[in-house]
Amino acid sequence: MGLSVAENIQKDSWVLGPKVKTDQSPAALAAITRDVLDLYYNDYIAKYDSLLGDIDVVPLSNLKQAVEVVNILSGPTSPIVNILNSVDKETALTAPAGPIDTQVLATGATNSVGKDIVSQNVSVRGRMLIAALKAAAKASGQPEPKPPGAYVEERFAWLHQLVLRKDGQASQLDNLMAAMTQVYQDMNKVAFRGSSADPNAVSDSLAALQQAASQIQGPLARWSSQITTGGAGITADGTRASINAAWTANVLPFCQQATAKSYPFTRSAAADMGMADFTKLFGPGGLIDSFMTGNLKDLIDTTKKPWVWKQVNNADLGIPVDVLAKLQAASEIKDAFFANGAAPAVNFQ
């Protein structure tokens, strides 16, 4: 049964001449079978290598989309987990077939049972083939052959190791998906809280994901890199956008109103800025001070003069330095005129 392909080849070998036709030994039949299987296995491996090589994470274009993508990839129905588990199952060719579930058969699910029967028949043929290959190897003084399918399993050993839950412990894949879930949670916080979220949280979780991925082989390292590379820039863009939104909503309208026709902000203005407006805009707890405390305290290095922007997830925030210079000037106005508290004062010495 196991050598039927080889036997069919031998039946037609007469077309190659009498010399080829004469070799009808079991060893020759086994060798032909082995060579046919090698061709099949190489093609089988190439198909799954191509499948995994053709899959990439969609480019991350903005924070909202990045949160959605990483949520899907790390969620309970993760396509990453489904794909890798499926390929793991399809390349475990030496795994013994399990017993047929007769109760399933009674329900009419003949499709599933039919596959089980085919698997068991393949195992029987495999055992016959092993016996023939062993006999041929022994006759020629060669070491015993490996079970059919072992070559494929060895090529995907990295994947079988990746999904293996040894002694009930989490697999490497489980650990990496946990790291990806943390990336989603931290990205979601930035998307929800904006600039008030910890800018280092996403950076730390992205680094943890990259570190976890660097320990494994296969496409998962590439997919993780696509997430970490895209995520770094995206979170910087999201932070910048949330800062701009907070300024536009909470500070800009009153700032334009108070400074547009007031000296010294408009040099040709006939009137000075009112004391109440000046305090509301520049004073401690005022609009600018509250904006900087709530949105920028972790993003500005105030130990340097002039101030400099810090990076977000190893990416530049993208806000011009002249904007930071104006914020520093506003802080210096606060320190100069409100040194003694909430009321402005000027001391002459």
For residue range 312-336, what is the model confidence (pLDDT) as tens digits? 767 788 889 999 999 999 999 998 8
**Nearby residues of 337 by Cβ (< 8 Å), 6 or more positions away:** 278, 282, 283, 344, 345, 346
Q: What per-residue confidence (pLDDT) applies to 32? A: 64
270 against 118, higher pLDDT: 270
293 vs 130 pLDDT, higher one: 293
Which residues pair with residue 220 across a beta bridge?
none
Task: Give me the DSSP letters along 185-225.
Answer: HHHHHHHHHGGGS-HHHHHHHHHHHHHHHTTS-SHHHHHHH
pLDDT confidence of residue 71: 96
Give the bridge partners for 95, in sequence order: none
Pairwise CA distance, residues 68 & 319, whole Å: 26
Q: Which amino acid is present at 147?
A: P
Give every CB contact of residue 154 below 8 A, 6+ residues apart in sequence.
none
Q: Is the pLDDT of residue 248 over 60?
A: yes
Q: What percent of the chain has pLDDT over 90?
A: 35
Q: What are the residues whose beta carbons fall under 8 Å from the beta carbon of 118, sequence distance 6 or more?
A: none
Which tens digit of pLDDT belongs to each residue from 148-192? Answer: 678 888 999 999 999 999 888 999 999 999 999 999 998 888 888
Residue 138 pLDDT > 70, yes or no? no
Q: 34-38, 158-162, 173-177, 281-285: which has the minimum mean pLDDT?
A: 34-38
Q: Which one has a higher pLDDT value, 145 or 93?
A: 93
pLDDT bucket at 83, cuts 50 / 70 / 90: very high
Q: What per-residue confidence (pLDDT) applies to 259?
A: 87
The more confident residue out of 309 and 1 is 309
Confidence of residue 233 (pLDDT cuts 50, 70, 90): confident
Backbone φ and ψ for 314, nearest 5 degrees, come out as 65, 20
